[in-house]
Amino acid sequence: MAITKQQVVDALKQIIFFAKKDNIVDLNMVQDISIKGKEIKVTIVFEKLDDPAVGIIYNSAVKALKSELGDDITVDVKPVADDAPGPLSGVKNIVAVISGKGGVGKSTVAANLAVSLAKSGNKVGILDADVLGPSVPIMFGVEDGQPKVIEKKGKPVLLPLENYGIKILSIGFFVKPEQALMWRGSMANNAFNQLMTDSDWGELDFLVIDMPPGTGDIQLTLAQNYNIRGAVLVTTPQKVAAADVRRAAMMYRQEKLTIPLLGIIENMSYFTPDDMPDKKYFIFGQGASDQLANELNIKVLGRIPIDAKLSETGDKGMPLSLVDGSPVSKAFTEIAQKLKTEITKL
Ligand SMILES: Nc1ncnc2c1ncn2[C@@H]1O[C@H](COP(=O)(O)OP(=O)(O)O)[C@@H](O)[C@H]1O
Ligand SMILES: [Mg+2]
């Protein structure tokens, strides 16, 4: 069996940096894991290289990897100093919102999830990586905005726009809709990398990424180059939608790319007429998301009803979750809570 990134991460999680009272993985000190057969390379980032902990952690890392993965592996642990903190080093949790196909409400969910996380006191950013259908700027009412370029440590970086206390960047700020089709592949990928790393995200508890639907270059880049806390799957109740999102989910679970799947959000689950608040009509059927959750051994984090207000407020640039007390807002509050619980279980 080939060694997976997850196994390496699991082994390194055993190593505690005592002065900081946590393990080196959760302290975000582990970067650039590469695995080639039995050859493992890991970079461990320290604030200062002259810290006596460097030697101790280096030795423990080599020992932990060998004892977990076999004495016959070769381990190359490289301690580096964090004197130039990366642009994402202040971001605690990167959460990717994914779907099998477009139109299931991925952006709506990403926007409302970001708002709910912010409402519970977190610093939140949202990055819209959906090159073919960037809709986050409209949903946050910043579609006419142009992110400023500032200079940081001699390098130009993008300053995210901000609304409702949430930092916002979108691939849509750089691509005209009529050009989007030609933008597949490397251009989109470069733009994505720029939004991730040539931008000043600052300190964030959560960076929510509205990913393009399906499986493509940006998904691979995300999995290979960034330290992603996990992915949330958005689907609708139809069996076809579940089949599509299953394919996308499997890609995120592939060897060497393993991004933990944090759960499923079922959108457009049911309809409740305004004058019959206790009724739920399951227009698109029931059961497909639960079955998928079972299959993938993850939870359904929540179900969002069909609600015209969700769509209207999205078009008006004011995500419905900003309105306390609405059923949709409550559903997202619960989802945000469950998401945090799933993250603590990782
Ligand atoms: N639960 C819902 N109830 C009503 N309309 C919704 C719901 N979720 C999404 N929509 C609408 O469906 C359309 C597609 O949603 P969107 O979030 O843009 O999907 P995606 O990002 O997956 O392509 C939008 O017009 C949106 O406002
Ligand atoms: Mg979208």
Reported as a single tens digit per residue, the pLDDT across 151-200 is 887 788 999 999 999 999 999 888 777 777 677 677 888 899 999 999 99
Contact of 218 with 131, CB cutoff 8 Å: yes
Q: Domain 5-81, what fold?
A: GMP Synthetase; Chain A, domain 3 (3.30.300)
pLDDT digits (tens, 9 = 90+) for 229-247: 999 999 999 999 999 999 9
- CA 16–ligand 1 middle distance (angstroms): 44
The closest residue, in CA terms, to atom 17 on ligand 1 is 105
Return the pLDDT at 255.
Answer: 62
Among 73, 52, 82, 63, residue whose Cα is nearest residue 12: 63
> How far apart, in whole angstroms, are the C-alpha atoms of residue 138 and residue 111?
10
Atom number, ligand 1, closest to the C-alpha of residue 328: 1
Positive or negative: CA dihedral 268, 270, 276, 277: negative
Q: Look up residue 246 and give its two tokens.
A: 């299953």
The closest residue, in CA terms, to atom 16 on ligand 1 is 105
Burial 95-110 (b: 16+ CB within 10 A, else e): bbbbbbbeebbbbbbb
Ligand nearest to the CA of 129: 2
Helix or strand run (H / E) with residue 182? none
What proportion of the chain, given as a percentage, has pLDDT over 90? 71
Q: What is the dihedral of CA 335, 338, 343, 346, to 10 degrees?
A: -130
The closest residue, in CA terms, to atom 23 on ligand 1 is 103
Q: Which bin fits 159, alpha (ψ -120 to 50), beta or left (φ > 0)? A: beta
Which residues are paired to 44 by β-bridges? 30, 79
pLDDT digits (tens, 9 = 90+) for 117-145: 999 999 999 999 998 889 999 999 999 99
Contact of 160 with 201, CB cutoff 8 Å: yes
Among 138, 131, 264, residue whose Cα is nearest residue 191: 131
Average pLDDT over residues 213-229: 88
> Which residues 6+ apart lie within 8 Å of 140 measured at CB?
111, 126, 161, 163, 164, 166, 168, 317, 319
Q: Which bin fits 324, alpha (ψ -120 to 50), beta or left (φ > 0)? A: beta
> How far apart, in whole angstroms, are the C-alpha atoms of residue 163 and residue 126?
11
- CA 133–ligand 2 middle distance (angstroms): 5
User: Is 209 a residue whose pLDDT tops 90?
Assistant: yes
Q: Look up residue 84 and give its two tokens.
A: 């130039």
Average pLDDT over residues 7-15: 96
Ligand nearest to the CA of 136: 2
Confirm whether pTM is higher than 0.85: no
Positive or negative: CA dihedral 99, 122, 297, 231: positive
Q: What is the dihedral of CA 269, 270, 274, 275, to 10 degrees?
A: -160
Q: Quickly state the pLDDT bin for 9 (edges 50, 70, 90).
A: very high
Pocket test for ligand 1, best of 108, 265, 269 (most atoms within 8 A of CB): 108
Pairing of strands 155-159, 16-17: unpaired
- CA 240–ligand 1 middle distance (angstroms): 17
Ligand nearest to the CA of 100: 1
Pocket lining for ligand 1, CB < 6 angstroms: 99, 102-108, 133, 135, 267-268, 304, 306-308, 310-311, 314
The closest residue, in CA terms, to atom 27 on ligand 1 is 311
- CA 186–ligand 1 middle distance (angstroms): 28
Sketch the domain layout of the chain as residue ranges.
5-81, 91-345
Pocket test for ligand 1, best of 265, 311, 329 (most atoms within 8 A of CB): 311
Q: Quickly state the pLDDT bin for 64 (edges 50, 70, 90).
A: very high
CATH of range 91-345; options 3.40.50.970, 3.40.50.300, 3.30.70.120, 2.102.10.10: 3.40.50.300
Atom number, ligand 1, closest to the C-alpha of residue 133: 23
Atom number, ligand 1, closest to the C-alpha of residue 307: 3
- First and final C-alpha spacing in the chain: 23
- Mean pLDDT estimate for the chain: 91
Q: Which bin fits 256, alpha (ψ -120 to 50), beta or left (φ > 0)? A: left
- CA 324–ligand 1 middle distance (angstroms): 20
